[in-house]
Amino acid sequence: MSITKNAHVAAFAFPFGSHPTTLLHLVKQLAAASPQVQFSYFNTKSSNQKVSSKVDSTHAHESNIKIYDVDDGVPQGHVFSGNPIELIEFFVKATPGNFRKRLEEVETEMGMKATCLLTDAFLWFSVEMAEEKGIPWLAYWAAGPSSISLHLYIDVLRAKLGSDSGRIQNLDQTLDFIPGMSEIRASDLPTEILQLNGLFSRMLYNMSNTINRASVVLLNSFDGIDFIVENDLKSKLKMLLNIGPFPLPNAMTVTEDHSGCLSWLSHQAAASVAYISFGTIFTPPPPELVALAEAMEEKQVPYLWSFRDNSKRQLLQGFFERTSRIGKVVEWAPQSQVLSHPSVGVFVTHCGWNSTLDSIMGGVPMICMPFFADQMINRRLMENVWQIGVGVKGVFAKSGLVEVLDLVLWKDEGKKMRENIGRMKERAYTAVAENGSSTENFKSLTSIITSSKFN
């Protein structure tokens, strides 16, 4: 195979949630595997500052990676309202000009044109930039195969379900008209799929209509997680590569456990602890937090709670004090390692895709509290398809939480969930082992970014 001289991969991040962190993990892995290639990672300044503190140090000193800031679009002196969508829409307004301008500056500084664009799939305009330059666009999808499949069927969904307002007539209707979606219901769909009432929704709609032009679509997933959906995707995309799950739990060294989570877990009984974390964007509303705390206290379940929202911490201060003998609250936890610890018996989660993968890799069943985006879809997969988790029935109240804690931790249904997720864990580790499907797909990816036939 012919190797391109002066290969330069430009990576564009979507700077919200877990998106920029997982993309940088991928860039670092590629940089370590392809030392002859130069990598430029573009993200907003505030997001770069957050990401640098989260990404593992395994490949932190790769000399062939440089990180650059792009304009976030926020006006000088703007007072933030607290609504995350506000920042997203400022950023969307700034695209694609912010990326185009910064890339041109970097190309001049380096004396090297980009030979490949590796970008978050949300940044749909990357395909136009890549086509202008005559280089491949590699689109990284930060969620699972089911959610990207639904985006490919966006016009079908609108025609079947709805109205211009995005209102769904029958929320219980299943999506059995889409391959592999017979258990997904209309009520599980993100509002962005059915509505075009904002810049972010339009960005996703544009992505839905351009993703099939990507040279390669990359998923942080593994072959076999859903054969029907994967095969349908492969029939619609030029190339689909599952390259996950990543990063693996052992990618983060124990010395980064600044809060002492792992040492605390080592003093707990096997499969007894509830690990609680709701991601980086939203925290449940106060009534739900109180209901969860009351259920934990009634059942006297040992807990490790990663609680980031200081504005709501006082709400549960009495609970934390009363249960300090059996619980630990921290602002941050090394999640993948926590979920791989034998003391953890259940994960109370918002059902984000990265958290779902972390739980699979740890073999820990889940109690599902989804908020938005693909989280409702993931909840349905966990509960109805994979049978590795359970949602709270009806109103989110103490009684429902007590019921699901009983079910997962102590009843036969929970034992069955642990068996099911144990089998998924085995498949996931097989995929990333030597000669595994994700390992081989990653090798194909490194060949693509260095091969002259793509450049």
- The whole-angstrom separation of Cα 397 and Cα 293 is 10
CA angle 376, 306, 79 (to 5 degrees): 80
Amino acid letter, 258: H
CB 334 within 8 A of CB 344: no
User: Which residues are the active-site residues?
Assistant: 19, 120
- The whole-angstrom separation of Cα 389 and Cα 373 is 18
- Sequential DSSP letters for 106-167: HHHHHT---SEEEEETT-TTHHHHHHHHT--EEEEE-S-HHHHHHHHTHHHHHHHH--TT--
Pairing between β-strand 344-349 and β-strand 366-368 as defined by DSSP bridges: parallel
Pairing between β-strand 137-141 and β-strand 327-330 as defined by DSSP bridges: unpaired
List Cα–Cα distances, 38 to 6, 30, 48, 68, 234, in angstroms.
Answer: 7, 10, 19, 13, 30
- The whole-angstrom separation of Cα 270 and Cα 265 is 9
DSSP 316: G
CB 32 within 8 A of CB 60: no
